[in-house]
Structure 1
């Protein structure tokens, strides 16, 4: 891959948007799920908390990639290169596992409501989350193997002396890397995606045939299912397709960097899936929006004779206390 000004600006725009929108949303989600897990945890809360932590770690390391894009080369201490790459890719595949587990949880809850409710235990979700973290990190350790592999080619430049990060692979590296990437596609993307499709298609079918369920709840659940499948298709599929193309062509595709950009959107789209999945998060979002609205609108009413948003006037003093109380 060759850095250009246009590519640098595109990467900075995508990463910047993801960071600005994803960080506050995931912090809010983390606060909600952490509080919920401490009080009365459910398997869904545990999975959502684990996925939120994964997204926050991803967002924490995103600025390192932004520095590389801004300078159009790797200028940071070299140990941060494999570390940031390892975290970057591990959290992406960690998300596919967690989103799949959430789909299984939802499907089992509507397909076998009584039987599954008796066997639901938060501990099982904790064990599953640990397995997801271990498997995704074990697979993505290929980043360290590629960066510190003992090359037999005497003309090959040591990675620590180069100004690129996880790019420009030698033929020797590609013989190891390309089959591993194909495995990543099959095990960490394709299998979870197929499971997710089956669970949510059955989930939507069952919900559509239930006569006594509230219409608002039905549409919210279907929206959550479709949103998750959309994340798989938009965020994860292009990047993983590049693994297959690279294996077939025996190269690392140049357009892989563009496919990888779509994967970053997952960190800011996950909170919207959480919104459909958790009533606690919906309540937190509502309270935060109400508080922000109160803080933004009250100075307007206090400083102006006529507030353009709430139509407050200096002669309408009697209605102001009730407005303030209802906002709280």
Structure 2
């Protein structure tokens, strides 16, 4: 490879005047970064794949709520598969051409939007289940959930097509040299994206989960008030308080994780700046978004006992046995 005057190798030595240069970083730093990000990618793929297999295989898990978890896991699973490409963008040149560059960013934007949309649908599902349990079976049906999931994905595809329309028409429009794959979202488009992908979803999630928490606490207190025996009342009080703390903790985890993972990415929009994928803060923000896909199965699935049972059956290959899909794991 031909060395440049400023140090660093050219991505395309035959294009001396237009080729990008490979970034120069300490080898230890590069190896550590690759190991860390590769581990996140592998963990994201593995956790979400376990959720997908569990819900798809066991018939007891074919419920409206779990269909939403399945859709969330699919979007996060795809995110995990896209992470290795993002790793390559950090410390190497882009050799796959303009079309693949556009396809990669478009797919990334779609699955992130779909993931957020699924989180909103899950919060709506939990709201109806807790706040209006008598109408839940007739209101939240499998058919309606499937329609909502399809609409969520269709909206994500169309919405991000509008957000990235200029980039999709000319994928190399933001490249400063040959061998780059860069997307820039101007501050106006970024503000719109901030509204629809961050502000609106987090508002819905916070409002619904706060309502769920209030109702859960009031139900727990009502149960305690109807207990006459002192011993039983003491036992129920402890159990109810634990339930209240668990509800509060889960609510806090959902909101805090969402904010932590999305705020850095939307910082330029808040500051009225353009969002560029080659900026260091943008790279950090993108990886926090990806990490959210790793945490989603932890928040929404691993806390469920059925998921732990399903993992045991999957890891021990018992799902390969005849009629394993009829296993009782609830």
TM-score range relative to shorter protein? 0.7 to 0.9
* 2:210 pairs with 1:188: no
Are residue 146 (structure 1) and residue 172 (structure 2) matched? no
Is the 1:8–1:69 contact (alpha carbons within 8 Å) kept by the matching residues of 2? no
Contact 1:18 1:265 in 2 (8 A): yes
Per the TM alignment, residue 145 of structure 1 is displaced from its structure 2 partner at its CA by 2.8
Within the alignment, does 1:98 sit opposite 2:114 as a pair?
no
Instruction: Provide the residue aligned with 2:47 in structure 1.
Output: 25
Corresponding position of 2:156:
136
- For 1:102 and 1:17, the matched residues in 2 are separated by 27
Match in the other structure for 2:301: 275
Match of 1:162 among 158, 164, 178: 178
Deviation track 1:19-45 (CA, whole Å, cap 9, x = no partner) reads 121121111111111124x55632211
Unaligned runs of at least 5 residues, structure 2: 1-21, 224-235, 318-330
Decide whether aligned partners of structure 1 residues 251 and 96 sit closer, same or farther in structure 2, where only a CA change above 3 A counts: closer
Q: 1:165 to 1:147 in 2, by over 3 A?
A: farther
1:210-289 superposed matches below 5 A: 210-211=219-220, 212=223, 215=240, 219-245=245-271, 248-249=272-273, 252=276, 255-275=281-301, 278-285=304-311, 287=313
Taking structure 2 as the reference length, the TM-score comes to: 0.72
Structure 1: distance between partners of 2:32 and 2:195? 29
CA contact (8 A) 2:131 2:212 kept: yes
Contact 1:21–1:268 (CA<8 Å) still a contact in 2?
yes
| Aligned partners of 2:167 and 2:173 also within 8 Å | no
Q: In the alignment, is residue 200 of structure 1 matched against residue 239 of structure 2?
A: no
Asked if 1:74 corresponds to 2:97, the answer is no
> Structure 1 residues 137, 231: closer, same or farther in 2, change over 3 A?
farther
Q: Is the contact made by 2:191 and 2:270 (CA closer than 8 Å) also made in structure 1? A: yes
Deviation of 1:161 (Å): 7.3
Taking the aligned partners of 2:33 and 2:169, their CA distance within structure 1 comes to 26
Q: Distance in 2 between matches of 1:158 and 1:96?
A: 27
- Cα distance in 1 for partners of 2:36, 2:159 equals 26
Q: Sort the Cα spacing of 1:251 and 1:161 in 2 relative to 1 into closer, same or farther, 3 A.
A: closer
Q: Is the 8 A contact 1:223 1:276 kept in 2?
A: no
User: Residue 11 of structure 1 contacts residue 69 of structure 1 at CA under 8 Å; is this kept in 2?
Assistant: no
**Preserved CA contact (<8 Å) 1:239 1:259:** yes
Distance 1:185 1:281, change over 3 A: same
The answer for unaligned runs of 5 or more in structure 1 is 151-155, 293-328
Q: Deviation of residue 225 (structure 1)? A: 2.7
When the two chains are superposed, the root-mean-square deviation of aligned CA atoms in Å is: 3.1
